[in-house]
Amino acid sequence: MKPIKVGLLGIGTVGGGTFTVLKRNSSEIARRAGREIRITVVADRNLEQARKIVGNDARIVDDAFAVARDPDIDIVIELIGGHTVAKDLVLAAIENGKHVVTANKALLAVHGNEIFAAARDKGVMVAFEAAVAGGIPIIKALREGLSANRIQWVAGIINGTTNFILSEMRDKGLPFADVLRQAQALGYAEADPTFDIEGIDAAHKATIMSAIAFGIPIQFGKAYVEGINRLDAVDIAYAEQLGYRIKLLGIARKRDEGIELRVHPTLIPSSRLIANVEGAMNAVVVQSDAVGATLYYGKGAGAEPTASAVIADLVDITRLHTADPEHRVPHLAFQPDQVQDIPVLPIGEVITSYYLRMKVADRPGVLADITRILADSEISIDAMIQKAPEEGENQTDIILLTHQTVEKNANAAITKIEALATVRGKVTRLRLERL
């Protein structure tokens, strides 16, 4: 049987890893796929660098659109990133009848609905396992492995950079800025780390998972996004004292009223497995009705872990290359005419618990005033720390954990607490999930 011919767009870190792993494990991969999968052309602007990786094993060009239109190519792998030129390349490949594999979460989070519609019209597949959590097969688990279940929620550590930073802040008690510089020196964080530390990268991935879990359109613009750049090391220490760890979580939860879709620093009980995921590792917990909670853990980035997911997609497409398009697994797990436009709830309608830290005057009645405000807002207290003031100080910290409440009620209560004459400055508020 003739080999499947693949065009690779971009041979940077992941592209290089994909080429290397596919070449190294070619016979094993062919045994699984039923035929050889061969990268026959590579497009990259840096021809010299590409030649160092590819040698004479594939043709090298600097025109990616020529690869997207090449009649000899069966599958196009898009690994150039971004969602401008990448979108044009993917749509060109689809228009020319090519299947597409991509690791581009930003592209799918912003333009996924359009891309999947174009692929359906042309009867081709778009596979994107590598777009979420690197080498962890979470997309396949959500689309196929859990297809008997009603999925209730998904919560994941899906950005290794921020998890490394939070792990170091907790272990060493260092401020955020110091650990960020360390992460950049070690190569865990980019020179411009904005997408990671502000939660945007995690929100791209959470948006894709929410669409597959609940059968809704991809709606990145409706996700609530909050990063770790304003997180204080003192809150990580207080959380530890209370039996919690702080992680940047991507959360998608289905409620009767709609979908919660949010990314933010979150307190998690330290007894939970996901709370103990350290360094640059990723993990995703899925709660569903039949199987209960399942945990997916592994490397969320890197050349060969991500290449593993890219090549798994190549194998899937090769197996289904000649299948009737109607009998393939739908892009978003649910049949296209069964995707429902369930509303994504605004952050004020989210239901969760809270960690509240406030600096207050050291005088009688302060705690009573605060608890009265919370009670008036129907917010009950689960745990509390009241620090003794430092010698010579007339103010101290109070830390409260609440039971679940609607976020708009918590916001209203916080505003009233901050207005008290005995409360100094702003209340620090973090969300808490017991998972």
From 205, 247, 254, 299, the catalytic residue:
205
Cα 301 from Cα 14, distance rounded (Å): 9
Q: How many CB atoms lie within 10 A of CB 406?
A: 16
What's the one-letter identity of residue 249? L
> Does the active-site annotation cover 140?
no
Task: Classify residue 239 by burial, with Cβ atoms within 10 Å: 0-12, 13-18, 19+.
Answer: buried
Contact partners, residue 230, CB within 8 Å, separation at least 6: none
With contact defined as beta carbons under 8 Å apart, do 33 and 50 qualify?
no
Instruction: State the sign of the Cα–Cα–Cα–Cα dihedral 143, 144, 147, 153.
Output: negative
Residues belonging to the active site: 205
